Structure 1
Amino acid sequence: MQARKNFKLVCLALAMTGAFSSASSFAQDLKIALIAGKTGALEAYAKETETGFMMGLEYLTGGKMEINGRKVKVIVKDDQGKPDLGRTMLAEAFGDDKADIAVGTTSSGSAVAMLPVAEEYKKVLIVEPAVADAITGEKWNRYIFRTSRNSTQDGLAGASTIKAGGSIAFLAQDYAFGRDGVKAAKDALGTVGAKAKVVHEEYAAQNTTDFTAAAQRIFDVLKDKPEPRILQIIWSGASPMNKLADMKPERFGITLAPGGNILPIMKNWKTYAGTQGAIYYYYDFPKNKINDWFVAEHNKRYKAPPDFFTAGGFAAASAVYTAISKAKSTDTEKLITAMEGMEFDTPKGKMNFRKEDHQAMQSMYHFKIKKDQKNEWDLLELVREIPASDLPVPLKNKR
């Protein structure tokens, strides 16, 4: 009798120990690595991404910063936009810091360098905000998901704003982002039936400040070509829009077509009312509950509306939150299963990860620079929302 009683006590003790161990494990911090180029040419983008990511987690967790009962710990790392450092930072996050999932990074070159690290550690990396097509194309692996738009989505959106026919030249930065963007834009022109003939491509170093020679080469090629004559600018960081406009391209019948940029840059475009382009996000365009909160709260905290990359950071946070909530785990295989085809809410509205390449399918916006601007940030007028269904992004990962 006593032996049976002792056996029951031992069993109870073991059960309690197991329950305690399980609860203790469950209560461990949920570690998310956020890698961004917080110093260097894209510093402003990186800081916006971090702000948006933290605000997104705050909103989605109701301020508790917990997912599935686990306290969220965000580990922020600066890769300075350098590929070798990005690779090192991600390996450190997965290896030393034991991060459950990672988000990053700002530079496309650095993001491409990070992709094999995710595969090596068999951990999910959500790419935000790098855009190079290769990330969900030839350099992709099954651990990679991307919330940011890619170069082809940019190209298709931009092409959809261009009238059929005419001539087009490109000015872009001479690195992965610029060259990828021009290639995508050229492919997109045929896809959407714009049929504008590409007559020139001009590439300039990222740190270029004098665009006189480049602009003159573009003007010389475009000025005698069939109208409309369009100079499309594909540039990250400080846009050359103003410097090009100061050279009066209109005297040759040339119209500038900028891609959307961050608010501090676009507010310098006020004198170019009527100029049209495409953009990933502008705070006044989406009409939904999340964006209403986002705009109001960001204005309250920072005395300015949320920006292009702030929205991207929020979208990445939503992908993390939705994936872990749906998988009820941070196990990589369970996360991948949950995320393929997963729909999630963002300030732009709903996005979903395409199963084949894990690219977030999403809407874009056709804008026009406003003539009558009521305040510092009243910059753009919505021409139309371009739905994801109008952006036929081809599969490039050969899965």
Structure 2
Amino acid sequence: MHPTRRQLLATAGGALLAAPAAVRAQGEVPIRIGEINSYTAVPSFTLPYRNAMNLAVDDLNAAGGVLGRKLELITRDDGGRPQDAVRLAAELVEAQKVDLLAGGYLSNVGLALGEYAANNRKLYVAGEPLTDALVWEHGNRFTFRLRPSTYMQAAILAEEAAKVPAHRWALVAPNYEYGQSAVKWFRQFLQARRPEVEFVTEQWPALGRIDAGPTVQAIEAAKPDAIFNVLFGPDLTAFVRQGNTRGLFDRRMVVSMLTGEPEYLDPLGDEAPEGWIVTGYPGEQIDTAEHRRFAESYRARFNEKPMCGSMVGYALIQSIAAGLSRAESADTEKLIAGFSGLEFETPVAHASYRALDHQATLGVFVGRTALKDDKGVMSDWRYVDGATLLPDDATVRTLRPAKD
């Protein structure tokens, strides 16, 4: 006998009623996260970051996903170029139909993605870009930022620098948004605490193209008592090696942003500086239950220690999952409401996205550099809650666009 159309529909309807959860799990489209980062330009940070994002997605999916749907991570490489990041964002939104955007490493790339998000009304969760403009001068209701900003990191470094008996300071930073922002805030914070200090030289090498010899020579010629450094990656490595060779750091305190991150300390090996005041990530020394679980899982999966980028990548996906759950939807407007004031867990601490400016309260590790087994590490470190490093609401309102 051949069943009638009515019989087929009745049978199908009965099956749906009998197993609605199974049908939803198999038939529901995944929540798609479109992530853009500088994978070829800054692999030391972004590859561990991508590893940890995939680990977090797999962990969440193994536990049932979010809102009964699997998460799907689609990554693209911007090569460190803002124009490519915007082009890739359009491809992810228009062709891949992603539900939200994430990522960014360089500050200028993050600003470009934030502008794209506002113009195209798509949520963007920035993981790494540190410029304050991303949530203040150029902030918008579609953009949130996870990592502690240049303002936050400069605030704690200036607090420590103010304890140093140094009057004459040199500044060295990459000549783009991140470096300019870091120097601006450090100068302002330090002078507020120590009005008598003076800045005797500023060196602004192009990002990724430092001529370390002349840079070190120019700083030495100014005879500073201390140095504030914002260089990172290969620029930092070249600067440290030239500085060691020429004795620049002898009897001089150096205060250095990000240098305590293993991505930047490890390449220096036994040439890593000792006694610098730094922000960073003492990952192998953090002994909380949540961080141990994360680190053990990461090592088991990738057979290597987690880097700072790993922690940021995992925390980014944790925050996105929490925002989706609170919003109970992947709709952009509902996501904005869900992320505003959102509280979430990370491998290192509880954090939240402030409703006023969309800056996360993820904190800062500050300490000193040291050598252990001929490798650079952070010592005498502490974790500073990001909420204590941010300006009050009245100050933020003077920095963030009134239209928001």
Secondary structure of the residue that 1:324 maps to in structure 2?
helix
| Change in 2 beyond 3 A, CA 1:366/1:264 | closer
Do residues 257 (structure 1) and 260 (structure 2) align? no
* Map of 2:91 onto structure 1: 92
Bigger Cα displacement from structure 2, 335-344 vs 23-32: 23-32
Structure 1 segment 176-191 matched on structure 2, within 5 A? 176-190=177-191
Whether contact under 8 Å (1:94, 1:121) holds in the other structure is no
CA distance in 1, matches of 2:302, 2:192: 41
CA distance in 2, matches of 1:264, 1:353: 26
TM-score (structure 2 length as normaliser): 0.84
Do residues 168 (structure 1) and 164 (structure 2) align? no
Q: Runs of 5+ in structure 1 lacking a partner?
A: 1-5, 224-228
* Map of 1:384 onto structure 2: 382
Secondary structure of the residue that 1:66 maps to in structure 2?
coil
Do residues 233 (structure 1) and 232 (structure 2) align? no
CA distance in 1, matches of 2:30, 2:228: 47
| Change in 2 beyond 3 A, CA 1:174/1:353 | same
| Change in 2 beyond 3 A, CA 1:195/1:292 | farther
CA shift for structure 1 position 341: 1.2
Bigger Cα displacement from structure 2, 95-104 vs 214-223: 214-223
| Change in 2 beyond 3 A, CA 1:244/1:337 | same
CA distance in 2, matches of 1:50, 1:108: 18
CA shift for structure 1 position 208: 3.0
Do residues 303 (structure 1) and 299 (structure 2) align? no
CA distance in 1, matches of 2:155, 2:132: 13
Whether contact under 8 Å (1:315, 1:347) holds in the other structure is yes
Structure 1 segment 1-399 matched on structure 2, within 5 A? 27-40=28-41, 42-59=42-59, 61=60, 63-64=62-63, 66-164=65-163, 166-190=167-191, 196-223=197-224, 229-238=225-234, 239=236, 240-251=239-250, 253-261=251-259, 262-267=261-266, 268=268, 270-271=270-271, 274-371=274-371, 373-374=372-373, 379-393=377-391, 395=396, 396-399=399-402
For each residue in 1:337-396, what CA deviation from the matched residue of structure 2 results, as whole angstroms up to 9, or x when unmatched? 12111111111201111111101112212222234x2585x7221332223344134522
For each residue in 1:162-186, what CA deviation from the matched residue of structure 2 results, as whole angstroms up to 9, or x when unmatched? 1345222111111222112211221
Secondary structure of the residue that 2:173 maps to in structure 1?
strand
CA shift for structure 1 position 247: 1.4
The amino acid of 2:178's aligned partner reads F
TM-score (structure 1 length as normaliser): 0.85
Whether contact under 8 Å (2:32, 2:99) holds in the other structure is yes
- The root-mean-square deviation of aligned C-alpha atoms, in Å, is 2.9
* Map of 1:226 onto structure 2: none
CA distance in 1, matches of 2:47, 2:190: 33
Q: Runs of 5+ in structure 2 lacking a partner?
A: 1-5
For each residue in 1:285-340, what CA deviation from the matched residue of structure 2 results, as whole angstroms up to 9, or x when unmatched? 54433211121122233333211111111111111000011111111121111211
Whether contact under 8 Å (2:230, 2:258) holds in the other structure is no
CA distance in 2, matches of 1:287, 1:133: 31
Whether contact under 8 Å (2:262, 2:281) holds in the other structure is no
The amino acid of 1:104's aligned partner reads G
Secondary structure of the residue that 2:283 maps to in structure 1?
coil
Give the total of aligned pairs: 377
The amino acid of 1:163's aligned partner reads A
